[in-house]
Amino acid sequence: MKVLVVGTGYVGLVTGVCLASFGHDVVCVDQDWQKIARLNMGECPIYEDGLEPLLREQLLANRLSFDTAISDSTDCDIALIAVGTPPRNDGSADLASVFEVVSELGHKLKQGAFIGTKSTVPVGTAHSIETFLESMGRQDIRVVSIPEFLREGSALSDTLQPSRLIFGVPDEESLRVLEELHRPLEVPVVACNRATAEMIKYASNAFLATKISFINEIANICERVGADVQQVSQGMGLDPRIGSSFLRAGLGYGGSCFPKDTRALVNIAGDVAYDFKLLKAVVEVNQRQRTEPIRRLRQWFGDLSHIRVTLLGVAFKPGTNDIRESPALEIGERLRSQGAQVQFYDPVVTRFQLQSQEFVRVLDDPYMALEHADAAIIVTEWPEIVDLDWARVGAVMRRRLVFDGRNVLDPAALEEAGFLIENFGFHPAL
């Protein structure tokens, strides 16, 4: 098939590269010309395991190309929209880029082509796109919803071996087209109407966020009653009805999806006069969790204006260089506003990425970043951080205080090395 992918971010780029590897003829378009220039040279602008070699392979095989604009003579069978849908101030999803692309596609797509939304869009968007196209006289274009579930850090394997495919379609013929597009994948398919597909995406993210905030609430109670949340998680997770994933207590979720999608779903519910109380609480708990290290540091030091804090990890999770809604940046900004000196270390996030935020000093060497620090906070559980030489860390810090924001360190071992360790509801086994 001839496929056009608009937007070459995490979703669009990985989708385009994988579809090319399935044998389709793929053109990826992005308005960011610098990104396109790098991609045309076979350089991957994002940090994602295994993506760059596959990208180069598909470029060399002439199945994949990149452009800064949708060609007037595009003859694609299906155009996939993978542009951003950032949150507006009220939490709702901003669809300006999506409709900008739809408008252009309405002028340029051949008769009978399909448009698929990969971007996360509010329930009812496929229908709105269809109505918009009709107003342009394009009743011939069919709109399908193909929500994306890849995780940054394992985006390639998630796309090549997804847990399921969700096809939101208006008719049987559209379903056949989506089956053809994903042909080599032998995974469960849920074929449904488009509103259902759009809701599956939001409900999935909201549910995972709920698990995280739930275990964080349990951790906070554990701390007060002398229970160990790590063992509580283990004991709960062994029940197959519950499952062990997303049950690690800590600083909560960040990134470009969960914070945005939870708020958007609260908003979608509000639009139909439904008060989604549970999800509102999930969002609130997550926000409170993020500020917990600051509350504890104040307990230790009182005034923070004379202390130096090192934040270990800037990416919102390991395996990616994505810093959108990074807990580290928010914690750093709050500490700084209270007068603390803040330094950062991350194994992949670069100074270049953060140059617009002047106060952020990211160092490549963790031990240099920790020099003379009064406290360290583990924000991202990169192996490079968990496996630091803690004796060496102890030798360079001014005070040996570590706040383990991801519950990944062995408190007993660190205490033995002379550290004071704080974490979320986690005590060494008695």
Catalytic residue list contains 257: yes
Helix (H) or strand (E) holding 6: strand 2-6
Does residue 32 belong to the site contacting ligand NAD (CB under 6 A)? yes
Residue of the chain from 20, 165, 169, 257 that contacts ligand NAD (CB under 6 A): 257
Within 8 A by CB and 6+ apart from 285, the residues are 213, 216, 217, 252
Residue of the chain from 3, 64, 83, 409 that contacts ligand NAD (CB under 6 A): 83
Residue of the chain from 4, 5, 8, 177 that contacts ligand NAD (CB under 6 A): 8
For residue 209 the two structure tokens come to 């966020």
First to last CA, the chain: 61
Give the nearest distance from C-beta 156 to ligand NAD in angstroms: 12
Give alpha helix (H) positions in 338-389: 366-370, 383-386
Residue of the chain from 54, 123, 150, 377 that contacts ligand NAD (CB under 6 A): 150
Residue of the chain from 48, 77, 130, 148 that contacts ligand NAD (CB under 6 A): 148
* CB closer to ligand NAD out of 117 and 289: 117
Does residue 152 belong to the site contacting ligand NAD (CB under 6 A)? yes
Asked whether the beta carbons of 263 and 389 are under 8 A apart, the reply is no
Residue of the chain from 21, 80, 84, 393 that contacts ligand NAD (CB under 6 A): 84
How many Cβ atoms sit within 10 Å of the Cβ of residue 274? 10
List 28, 44, 222, 257, catalytic entry: 257
Question: 């003379």: which residue's tokens?
Answer: 372
Does residue 28 belong to the site contacting ligand NAD (CB under 6 A)? no
Task: Give the nearest residue (CB) to ligand NAD.
Answer: 9
Strand order in the sheet with 189-192: 64-67, 25-29, 2-6, 78-81, 114-117, 142-145, 165-168, 189-192
- Distance (Å, whole) CA 376 – CA 312: 7
Does residue 101 belong to the site contacting ligand NAD (CB under 6 A)? yes
Does residue 117 belong to the site contacting ligand NAD (CB under 6 A)? no
Within 8 A by CB and 6+ apart from 131, the residues are none
Does residue 159 belong to the site contacting ligand NAD (CB under 6 A)? no
Q: Which residues bind ligand NAD (CB under 6 A)?
A: 6-12, 29-32, 35, 82-85, 97, 100-101, 119-120, 148, 150, 152, 256-257
Active-site positions? 257
